[in-house]
Copies of this chain bind each other. A is one copy, B any other.
Amino acid sequence: MVGRFLANLENHVALTDADRAGVAAVLGPPRAFKAGADLVEDGDDGPDVVLVLLSGQAFRHQTLPDGRRQILSFHAPGDVLDLPRLFMGVDYSVGALSAGEAAPAPRAALLQVMADHPRVAQALWKLSLVEAAIYRAWLVGVGRRTAHARIAHLLCEVFTRLEAAGEADGWRCPFPATQIHLSDSLGLSVVHTNRVLRTLEREGLVSVRGREIRVRNWAGLMAAGEFDAGYLQLPARVA
């Protein structure tokens, strides 16, 4: 189960056996959670641990006083859910999209592992830089793309990352987000999201149904979303 996390780190930096052992040792026993659970709470200073997602899917979000919500990212197994906690408080919450498991890493112990294993520190740092690159990509989408391109781009990104995390099965992958989640991540209304989703389906590009994404025409979907996977910093994969 820890393998997913190591694989994620090793996408960015080669690790030695000692590095891997250090990482494995710092993770506490996995805790199971159900769909809809709150994994991390905004301003939650209590648990001095960093959470690593081992299975299932989750999303970060920030919710305004009046209920409007912006989803900030989606997460696959192997992702660290609250990396900022290493050095500061977290300014967002994390909810579970599906049931799954997450392992806690005590902050102090993790800092020690990073001090002892510089490559691990570098991999985690790079992970946080890639997160920032994803935020930039979303910013461009929400700020400057039409609903059609924005949704196509998001689906490309999600599919690519889930595939890299080993969750995909051919051109299908599980993605238990509702259209409400999608609209809150895209800055659109649910109604409009629904209509555009139907359009993408009619165009034969993707279909998002039954809690999964089915890619029908990858090249077309990438073109519709002006998608270029470079910013995800994933190792080259088969097209």
Please give the residue numbers on chain A whose beta carbons come within 8 Å of chain B beta carbons, in ascending order: 12, 62, 64-65, 68-70, 72, 83-84, 86-89, 91-92, 115, 118, 121-122, 125-126, 128-133, 135-136, 138-140, 142-144, 184-187, 226, 230-231, 233
| Contact residues in B for A185 (Cβ distance below 8 Å) | 143
Q: How far is the CA of A136 from the CA of B136 in the complex (A)?
A: 9
Chain A binding surface SS class: helix
Q: Are B139 and A70 in contact (CB under 8 A)?
A: yes
Task: Contact check, B144 vs A69: say whether CB atoms are below 8 A apart.
Answer: yes
Q: What are the 4 closest A-B residue pairs judged by CB atoms, nearest first?
A: A143-B187, A135-B135, A70-B140, A70-B143
CB of A43, distance to nearest CB on chain B (Å): 9
Residues of B with C-beta under 8 A to A72: 136, 139-140
Q: How far is the CA of A12 from the CA of B70 in the complex (A)?
A: 27
Q: How far is the CB of A130 from chain B (nearest CB, A)?
A: 8
What residues on B are CB-neighbors of A68 within 8 Å? Answer: 144
Q: Are B126 and A129 in contact (CB under 8 A)?
A: no
Sample 9 A-B pairs with CB under 8 A, ordered by A number: A64-B226, A70-B140, A70-B144, A87-B122, A91-B230, A121-B121, A125-B128, A139-B142, A143-B187
Cα(A10)–Cα(B186), bound, Å: 36
Q: Give Cα A86 to B231, complex, Å.
A: 15
Nearest-Cβ distance from residue A152 to partner chain B, whole angstroms: 14
Residues of B within 8 A of A139 (CB): 70, 72, 135, 138-139, 142
